[in-house]
Amino acid sequence: MTCDFLGLKEGDIALLCLPVQYISGKMILVRAIERKLKVIISVPSSAPEISENVEFCAMTPLQVQNSLDKIHFIKNLIIGGAAVSEKLKNEIFTTLQFSNSHTRIYETYGMSETLSHIALRQISPIQENYFTIFNDVEISVDDRNCLRIFAPKLNPEILQTNDIVELMHFDSAQCDKKQFKFLGRFDNVINSGGVKIFAEELENLVRVFNDDGNIYFHANKDMMPVRMDRIYLSRIFTNMITNAKQAVSEQRKSIINIDAELFNKKIIIVIEDNGIGIPKDKLEQIFEPNFTTKNSGMGLGLTMVKKMIEEYKGDISVKSEEGKGTKFTIILPTNV
């Protein structure tokens, strides 16, 4: 369906720069096989290598952010895995205008609930408010104005979502587009187009750093939905755990507690250590660019962490007592 929507044909080139263990990476391969596309593989990273013209590529917002000087190589670019911030959209517009590029860029609807996206919305200086449905997909609304999807190629049953939408009606004699505007979630929980944090995934990440057996992880839910780039989440945890490990005190055995809780439509993540703490005169500076102090175990990573969290309308705060330890609290909304 995506290939038809984008006008891809046999022999066109697709760039794969997403991990194939995730559904987004798998779907690139499926589309390539189905449409007989040539595939160029770039090692998955936050800044993928792009050195030649391709007809199709899918990236996360973070990858696009780090590849703005290269997106003119891509004819059709899909951004998925998280919401596309207004800041990134403006940077995309500026880049394309400066390079005189004809790249078409889309954000997706669907994935978690539908297994694959079933509609796209073009990102352009004149922002489209409506998602355009693929061919072979039928949509309607229930009495709550929540979207109902019938996509027989993906699911033989009608999918009932909790997405409140406004349908756009066209005169079928003039236009065959099927479009809708996303207004919000009936249950205030984001599924479509978002990332589900699984406690097991976070435990596996913690295990990489837990060679001394002194990191303890707890979560109050097996799954927590959040609209954030999965690479961002991994980077945030990696930086915070690294900082906690570096703040070890020689006076006692290091203990790091990590709690992740879903509460009141927010995900609250607390990373607490019993290390040497941060001096009061340094506490207000730790998120500033170019600030670092080896004594506290804090480094440049905190500036990046704060930027990533705030980009998704989250918040990070810190409390510390010198000689006793430090506690970071991260709050991420589930309904950005």
Specify if 176 maps to a domain.
no
Residue range 50-61, pLDDT digits in tens: 989 999 999 888
Residue 300 has pLDDT above 50, yes or no: no
Top mean-pLDDT range of 20-24, 123-127, 286-290, 328-332: 328-332
State yes or no: pLDDT of 247 exceeds 80: yes
Average pLDDT over residues 41-45: 87
What lies within 8 Å, CB to CB, of 318 at 6+ separation is: 278, 283, 286, 326, 327, 328, 329
Q: Is it the case that residue 86 has pLDDT exceeding 70?
A: yes
Looking at residue 229, its pLDDT comes to 65
pLDDT given at position 192: 41
Mean pLDDT across 209-218: 83
pLDDT at 4 over 80: yes
pLDDT range class, residue 169, cuts 50, 70, 90: low
Does one domain contain both 125 and 18?
yes
Q: Are residues 202 and 325 in the same domain?
A: yes
Banded model confidence at residue 315, pLDDT cuts 50, 70, 90: very high
Residue 255 within a domain: yes
Determine the Cα–Cα distance for residues 57 and 105; give it in Å rounded to an integer. Answer: 10
Residue 31 falls inside a structural domain = yes
DSSP code of residue 336: -
H helical segments located in the chain: 2-6, 23-35, 61-65, 86-99, 199-209, 230-246, 280-283, 301-311
Q: What is the spatial distance between Cα 218 and Cα 269, in angstroms, rounded to a whole number?
A: 10
User: What are the pLDDT digits (tens) for 217-243?
Assistant: 888 776 777 766 666 777 888 888 888
Tokens of 229: 């780039």
- The stretch 26-42 carries a mean pLDDT of 89
Nearest-angstrom CA–CA distance, 245 and 164: 44
Most confident of 18-32, 62-76, 124-138: 62-76
User: Would you say residue 104 lies in a domain?
Assistant: yes
- Last residue in a domain, options 79, 109, 133: 133
Question: Binning pLDDT at 50, 70 and 90, where does residue 270 land?
Answer: very high
Distance CA 13, CA 75 (A): 10
Same domain (yes/no): 85, 204: no
Residues 111, 6 share a domain: yes
Confidence check: pLDDT of 112 > 50:
no
pLDDT at 319: 93
Mean pLDDT, residues 70-90 taken together = 85
82-91, 194-203, 249-258: least confident range: 194-203
Q: Which of 106-115, 138-147, 188-197, 280-289 has the lowest mean pLDDT?
A: 188-197
Which uninterrupted H or E stretch holds 122? strand 119-123
Domain final residue, candidates 133, 156, 183: 133
Please indicate, yes or no, if residue 178 is contained in any of the structural domains. no
Give the residue numbers spanning the domain of 57.
Answer: 2-133
CATH number at residue 263: 3.30.565.10
Domain count within the chain: 2
The pLDDT assigned to 128 comes to 67
Report residue 290's pLDDT band, with 50, 70 and 90 as the boundaries.
Answer: low
Confidence of residue 85 (pLDDT cuts 50, 70, 90): confident
At 11, is the pLDDT very low, low, confident or very high (cuts 50, 70, 90)?
Answer: very high
pLDDT by residue (tens digit) across 135-161? 888 888 999 888 888 888 767 778 888
Which of 87, 103, 133 is the endpoint of a domain?
133
CATH number at residue 52: 3.40.50.12780
